[in-house]
Structure 1
Amino acid sequence: MTDTEPRTSGTTDGDTTPGAWAVLLPAERYEAERLVHHDVLELTGLPEGAAPRPGDRVAVLVEEPLRLVALGRVAPATAGTRNAPATAGTRDAPAAGGSWEDPDDPQSDATAGLVVTYTRRVLDEPVPVDGSAPDGPVTALDPARWRALADRLGPPPARRTWLVSLDLPIEAATRAEAVRIFWSYVQELGPRELPAFVSPSGDELAMQAFVLGVEANQDPEEDD
């Protein structure tokens, strides 16, 4: 069984460092973060003057409207932490020499300039945030403001076991060939096009299809 339990101890573990930062994700990167589970958020091309230190607290935001989607801690940046870091540019464009990249793109191998280890995610139910958006993709945040944002999340929900499946009709001469073709389709189409089916363990009748990270009706008769 695959377990996605966070690798850190709770939402606001420790509070031993004074630094706090806001990371503002563009809409495309937020969508990509919702499609594939990652333990870390990576960015390159940080704006001049931004100097997050390992252990600093991070609030991950998206705008239009402004919402809190995750909390994290700055980790030491290392090459190859994950296959697809993003490039931190301005709110409307990437930094010079870089581009925003999706984490479900296996072709990317850029070196991360900022690594944020997630401590709490609310990607599917972001929390509205009062006030104006940060001026850039990575900006200093008052520690009291970070604490106020973290407190709005409340306790994490209880975890449970889910059954997730992906069924594709494959034409092939042998079982082994069918499996190879299956994985080729999965890599090519990914979560943006393929429906995954999920149900609570022990309640398969409650199965629901998901595409692009949201529920998707797969019954054509219900669309009529």
Structure 2
Amino acid sequence: MTDTEQRATGTIDGGTGTGAWAVLLPAERYDAERLVHHDTLELTGLDGVARPRPGEPVAVLVDAPPRLVALGRVAAATGETREDPDDPQSEAGPGTLVVTYTRRAFDRPVAVDRPAPHGPVSPLDVAAWRELADRLGPPPSRRTWLVSLDLPIEATSPAEAVGIFWSYVQELGPRELPAFVSPSGDELAMQAFVLGAEANQDPEEDD
């Protein structure tokens, strides 16, 4: 099940473990998780830090200022992970900690009134985790969106054009390519998004 499907359970319950955990994302990792949908958060390079147990709840935070961006649950470590989650071609590294997202709020982070953890993974009281989870409120209602990406491609055949298209998508990605999104049935409300935010694509309006 991906986060595009509604999870009916496991969103704000404290799990079966004896504790909870806070994960602090650096700014560049936060951008990568915000721009490209991932079902899991894979953390490497955590030698020497406390290890959460599978099933324990996690609050994912960013700093400056402290904000809650996701909830999750510790999963079993994978055999390998990608060093750069924004680059599917990056070299694989040893698996360490895998968190399965149960609630994502990357586009609408929630301010928290507690200092951000000092390390990448820190123990968190279950009551404190519940308080953070409650700040998210009920899951927002879901609807169908139409998302498109139009690129003018010069090629000798339709098949070659499609291949060049996917090369551009892999090379440029959401940091440079504008994606166009509109509610299903209301194409006149179409908006362009770059870097996860609405971006004006009409040069006349910039003048």
* Counterpart among 120, 124, 141 of residue 103 in structure 2: 120
**Which whole-Å CA distance do the structure 2 matches of 1:189 and 1:8 have between them?**
36
User: In structure 2, what is the equivalent of residue 169 of structure 1?
Assistant: 152
**Which whole-Å CA distance do the structure 2 matches of 1:171 and 1:218 have between them?**
22
**Which whole-Å CA distance do the structure 1 matches of 2:181 and 2:101 have between them?**
24
**Which whole-Å CA distance do the structure 1 matches of 2:102 and 2:62 have between them?**
17
Q: Supply the AA of the counterpart residue of 1:205.
A: L
Aligned residues: 205
**Which whole-Å CA distance do the structure 2 matches of 1:136 and 1:118 have between them?**
20
User: In structure 2, what is the equivalent of residue 150 of structure 1?
Assistant: 133
Structure 1 vs Structure 2 CA RMSD? 1.7
Equivalent residues of 2:59, 2:71 under 8 A apart: yes
Equivalent residues of 2:12, 2:134 under 8 A apart: no
What are the equivalent positions in structure 2 for 1:53-202 lying under 5 Å apart? 53-80=53-80, 84-85=82-83, 101=84, 103-108=85-90, 109-202=92-185
Equivalent residues of 2:20, 2:124 under 8 A apart: yes
User: In structure 2, what is the equivalent of residue 90 of structure 1?
Assistant: none
Structure 2: gaps of 5 or more residues? none
- State the Cα distance separating 1:3 from its structure 2 match: 7.6
Change (3 A) 1:49 1:169: closer
Change (3 A) 1:115 1:136: same
The structure with more strand, counted as a fraction of residues: 2
**Which whole-Å CA distance do the structure 1 matches of 2:171 and 2:127 have between them?**
44
Change (3 A) 1:132 1:3: closer
**Which whole-Å CA distance do the structure 2 matches of 1:157 and 1:73 have between them?**
20
Secondary structure in 2 aligned to 1:106? coil
Secondary structure in 1 aligned to 2:70? strand
Q: Supply the AA of the counterpart residue of 1:127.
A: V
Secondary structure in 2 aligned to 1:110? strand
Q: Supply the AA of the counterpart residue of 2:39.
A: D
- Per-residue CA distance 1:78-117 (angstroms, 9 max, x = gap): 124x6x35xxxxxxxxxxxxxxx3x120122223200000
Which piece of structure 1 moves more, 185-194 or 14-23?
Answer: 14-23
**TM-score normalised by the chain length of structure 2:** 0.93
Secondary structure in 1 aligned to 2:94? coil
Equivalent residues of 1:47, 1:138 under 8 A apart: no
Secondary structure in 2 aligned to 1:105? coil
**Which whole-Å CA distance do the structure 1 matches of 2:201 and 2:35 have between them?**
18
Equivalent residues of 1:27, 1:62 under 8 A apart: yes
**TM-score normalised by the chain length of structure 1:** 0.87
Which piece of structure 1 moves more, 42-51 or 178-187?
Answer: 42-51
Change (3 A) 1:169 1:3: farther
Secondary structure in 1 aligned to 2:161? helix
Secondary structure in 1 aligned to 2:100? strand
Q: Supply the AA of the counterpart residue of 2:166.
A: W
- Equivalent pairs: percent with the same residue? 77
User: In structure 2, what is the equivalent of residue 223 of structure 1?
Assistant: 206
Equivalent residues of 1:34, 1:124 under 8 A apart: yes
User: In structure 2, what is the equivalent of residue 212 of structure 1?
Assistant: 195
